[in-house]
Amino acid sequence: MAEVENVIIVGSGPAGYTAALYTARANLEPLVIEGFMWGGLLQQTTEVENYPGFPGGIMGPEMMQHFRDQAERFGARLITDQATAVHLGTEPGAEHRVFVGDREYRARSVILAMGAEHKKLCVGGEEELAGRGVSYCATCDAAFFKGSRTLVVGGGDSAMEEAIFLSKFASAVTVVHRRAEFRASSIMLERARSRPNIELLTPYVVEEFVRGDDGALARARLRQVETGETREIEVQGAFVAVGHEPQSALVEGQVDTDPEGYVLTEGKSTRTNRPGVFAAGDLVDFTYRQAVTAAGTGCQAALDAEWYLRDTPEVPTPEGLPEGDLAEAQWAPPAGAGQLVAPDAASQPSRS
């Protein structure tokens, strides 16, 4: 084990493993603290149909095994345990310390990729039927519910977004919300209301998801909040859209976050407010939340970490790191403002 790691990656979803792959290929020998639940959210799903490169689709756990294998192939080292604490340096070149229980790891750079958990309703049948009708992502799973009766739980913009997207596939979408008023913006509400196959049902809560004889979701039991009356509706798909919880508690008080806990990064980069600390994936992104976007920012974080290690005078440049221009040059506007300039091949780092 190196005394001071070049880079420690915390988290092992598409963002963490992609960062591991890129930093491993840049000879940085990354150490990945992948958590008990390695592989991230896609371990909870069945078929992934929208990750480019798999025309026939691929099962989520199988895909994450591929991500993991590919990172390991180039030398990423994995610890299948939780990071329990971090002490992040505040000055350029300062060491960062990451703890796994009592064990301390030191690093010159850290990539945070702990993801965001979907908030759950915590009602009967929810866990058991997850992936068998109960979902947390319409963009991911709506296509499995063509011509089906579905419901969406939630009252914010995300719930409306989910309902509108779902209404393009499902025969019927019932939006169930616990209050009479919606938190969603009026424009989103109007869009939802204007779809003929979306019905808004308030003030109701889901009490239970009920499975059918085939083991998949068949019905949802709902309760009217004011009267207590219950009723069951037939549904094949239920989408829970009551928010997300970014897993940023580990870095609370050290790395800047927004009020919801999403880690803030600088401009288009993955740089946090701490020098040498980068963040990627759903931990940062409350908008797109897709495997391919998480992998994309994992790649960005790896390159940002590489450039930090190479170009920060206070940090000894790791051996074998590809050479290139100062990192700032990558982000600077092209010379001759407003004009397209042909890239100068000699000044472009080689990153094939």
Ligand X SMILES: Cc1cc2nc3c(=O)[nH]c(=O)nc-3n(C[C@H](O)[C@H](O)[C@H](O)COP(=O)(O)OP(=O)(O)OC[C@H]3O[C@@H](n4cnc5c(N)ncnc54)[C@H](O)[C@@H]3O)c2cc1C
Where does this chain bind ligand X (CB under 6 A)?
Answer: 10-16, 33-35, 37-42, 44-45, 48, 50-51, 82-83, 113-115, 118, 135-137, 140, 247, 250, 281-283, 289-292, 294
Per-residue CA distances from 216 to 111, 121, 253, 254 (Å): 39, 18, 43, 44
Per the residue annotation, which of 140, 282, 299, 304 is the catalytic one? 140
Per the residue annotation, which of 141, 282, 285, 304 is the catalytic one? 141
CB of 183 to ligand X, least distance (A): 22
The distance of Cα 35 from the centroid of its chain, to the nearest Å, equals: 15
Per the residue annotation, which of 137, 256, 311, 325 is the catalytic one? 137
Is residue 266 a contact partner of residue 254, using CB atoms and an 8 Å limit? no
Q: What share of the chain is helix, strand, coil (3-state, %, to 5)?
A: 25, 25, 50
CB of 95 to ligand X, least distance (A): 19
The C-alpha angle with vertex 244 and arms to 301 and 131, in degrees rounded to 5, equals: 100
Whichever of 58 and 309 has its CB closer to ligand X, that residue is 58
CB of 159 to ligand X, least distance (A): 16
Any catalytic annotation for residue 299?
no
CB of 230 to ligand X, least distance (A): 27
User: What is the rounded CA–CA span in Å between residue 282 and residue 111?
Assistant: 13
User: What is the rounded CA–CA span in Å between residue 224 and residue 221?
Assistant: 10
Residue 138 has φ and ψ, to the nearest 5°, of: -70, -40
Whichever of 161 and 282 has its CB closer to ligand X, that residue is 282
Whichever of 32 and 327 has its CB closer to ligand X, that residue is 32
User: What is the rounded CA–CA span in Å between residue 153 and residue 116?
Assistant: 19
Whichever of 117 and 199 has its CB closer to ligand X, that residue is 117
Instruction: Give me the active site residues, please.
Output: 137, 140-141
